């Protein structure tokens, strides 16, 4: 069994690259940006069709909000940041500092919680930027993942 199949119930090819989808108990528990050589597949498991349709809806209309059942593992603080991320509308961005001020925290702590976001795309950490530029994405400050952030923000009309 491949490494992808050991962790994902689906690997799909999107305009910006391959994405792995993890479900637990029929709920979305993970979204991962994968290398371009990851083979696409979809296992027939409860909840997968709804998740794939929600992603397709977003790709067709960036203003479409994700309304999915999530099973998130994280600290209470991380979950608070992830909820705050979900309140940022498509086409808008906040700086790490602005989001931190909204939840009574610090910018660095918000950045750390964004880095550990288990469901990027669905929990839109790409909508958080640095005060002086794009900032990082998924723990990277350059490279492929930052290009994904740019693609998502362009898709939403922000870049």
Q: Which positions are annotated as active-site residues?
A: 125
Name the strand (E) or helix (H) holding 19: strand 17-24
Measure the N-to-C terminal CA separation of the chain; round to a whole number of Å.
40
How does strand 17-24 pair with strand 27-34? antiparallel
DSSP 126: G
Of 1, 42, 34, 25, give the one whose Cα is nearest residue 120. 34
Helix (H) or strand (E) holding 29: strand 27-34
């Amino acid at each position: 069994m491949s490494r992808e199949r050991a962790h994902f119930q689906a690997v799909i090819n999107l305009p910006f690259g391959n994405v792995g989808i993890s479900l637990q108990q029929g709920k979305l528990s993970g979204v991962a940006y994968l290398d371009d050589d990851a083979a696409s597949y979809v296992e027939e498991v409860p909840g997968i069709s709804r998740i794939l349709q929600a992603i397709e809806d977003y790709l067709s209309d960036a203003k479409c909000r994700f309304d999915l059942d999530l099973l998130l593992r994280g600290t209470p603080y991380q979950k608070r940041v992830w909820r705050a991320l979900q309140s940022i509308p498509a086409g808008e961005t906040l700086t790490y500092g602005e989001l931190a001020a909204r939840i009574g925290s610090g910018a660095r702590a918000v950045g750390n919680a964004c880095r550990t976001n288990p469901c990027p795309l669905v929990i839109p950490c790409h909508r958080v930027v640095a005060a002086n530029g794009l900032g990082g994405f998924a723990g990277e400050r350059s490279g492929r993942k930052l290009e994904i952030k740019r693609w998502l923000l362009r898709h939403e009309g922000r870049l």
